[in-house]
Amino acid sequence: MAIDIFTTRAMVPVLRQNKPVGRFLLDTLFGRVETSDTEYIDIDIVKGNRKMAPFVSPRVEGVVIEDRGFTTNSYKPAYIKQKFVTTAADVAESRVAGESLYGDNGAVNRSAEILAEELLEHEERVARREEWMAAQLLTTGKVDVVGEGINQVVDFGLDASHNITLSGTDLWSDAGSDPLGDLATWQKLILKDSGMNPDILIGDTDAISALVNHADVKDTLDTRRVDMGMINPRELAPGVVYWGNIISNGVNLDVYSYTEWYTDDSDVDQPIIPAGQVIMTSTRADFRRHYGAIKDLKAGLVAIPRFVKSWEEEDPSARFVLMQSAPLPAVHQIDALLTAKAV
C-alpha cells in the first residue's frame, strides 16, 4: 500500500529536514527545551541572598535559619495556529517553483513538493515568531501577545534598574561617554542581584559599532579567539558578527552584533533587536524554551514543540495543512539579564 505523504508521521520527518530561519538568540541562550501537556506553565523564580552563617556557642542550640524560598509564577504560553490550503487546481494545473515548464512532474510528486514548501513556510514563520518573542523578553523583560482573540502580556518582572536608557553625552555615540564604565557598572549589578557573572553582550550593529569604535574601547578589544580558530566567523548564523572579547576595568565580555528583521502586521520590516539596544547576560543563566499543551484531539497526550495535521474538504476539493505550537521563551533568573538603549 502506498504511503500517504499527508499523514502526521510522514509530515513530521519532512518538517525536521527543513532548516529554520535566524535563531541566534534562541540557540545561544534558550538551548534548553521543555515540553508540557498543561495549559499553564509554572516557573519557580529562586532568588538567593548573601546572609552569613550565624556565630553561636557550642553549648547552645543551633540557630534556625529561614529558607531562602522561591516565587512560583504561572504563565500561559502564546498559541500559534496557521494553515495552508491546496486546491486541486494547484496540483493539477500549477507549476511549483523550479519545475520545468515542459516537464510532467506528476500529481503525486507535485503534491509532495507543495507539502514540503508549505511545511518550510510554516516552520520559518513559527521560528521567526519564537525569535521575536525571545528578543522581546531580552530587551523588555516581557512579551506582548496580541492576535486574533488574544491580548495579554507575559511579564517576567525585569527590575527597572536592569532596564536602562542612556541619553545626552552618556550615549556611546558621544565621544565624551564612558562605555567601559557603563559595562563595569552593569556587570557588577548583575553579579550582585543574581550571583551570575555576565559573559556576553549582544546588540544591534549601530550600538556595537559605536562601542568597539569608541576611543576608550578600541585597544581593549581582543580578537585572538577568532585568530586562534576558537570562533569561526563562517560558522556564525546569518546576520551575526563576533567583534571580539572586551577585557578591561573588570569587564570580560564576548561581543556580538545581530542583524535580523521581521515583518510586522503593517507589512513593514522591523529589526529583531531595536536600534541602539544592547543585551548583557550570562550564557550560564537559566534560560529555557517551554512549550505548552497542543489543544487538539488529534495531538493525543504527546507534548511536542510543533503539531502538524492535514485534512480534506470535498467540495470545493481542497487540502488543508495546519501547524500548531504553544511557545514560551522564559528567563528563570531574570536578574541575570540587563538591557540598555545605548545609542
What's the grid cell of residue 252? 570580560
pLDDT at 3: 47
DSSP symbol at 61: P
pLDDT at 1: 42
Amino acid sitting at position 311:
W
Cis peptide bond prior to 316, omega within 30° of 0 = yes
**In this structure, are residues 263 and 296 in contact, taking their beta carbons and an 8 Å threshold?**
no
Look at residues 281, 283, 303, 282 and name the one whose alpha carbon lies nearest to residue 292.
Answer: 303
pLDDT at 49: 65
Going by their DSSP bridges, the two strands 251-258 and 240-248 should be labelled as antiparallel
Distances (CA, A) of 282 to 101, 151, 159, 229, 254: 53, 31, 17, 22, 10
DSSP symbol at 305: S
Residue range 8-48+70-154+288-331 forms a domain whose CATH class is alpha beta
Which residues of the chain are under the pLDDT cut of 70?
1-21, 44-50, 53, 55, 57, 60-71, 88-111, 225-234, 301
pLDDT at 207: 97
Domain with CATH 3.15.30.10 in the chain: 8-48+70-154+288-331
Q: What would the DSSP string read from start to end of 83-123?
A: EEEEEHHHHHTPPPTT--SS----HHHHHHHHHHHHHHHHH
Q: What is the pTM of this model?
A: 0.82
pLDDT at 105: 54
- Per-residue model confidence as pLDDT tens digits over 26-70: 999 998 999 988 878 877 665 656 677 676 757 766 555 555 555
pLDDT at 238: 85
Q: CB within 8 A of 314, min separation 6: which ones?
A: none
Pick the CATH number of 159-287+333-341 from 3.30.1930.10, 2.60.40.10, 3.40.50.1820, 3.40.50.10710: 3.30.1930.10
Domain with CATH 3.30.1930.10 in the chain: 159-287+333-341
pLDDT at 64: 55
pLDDT at 321: 85
pLDDT at 95: 46
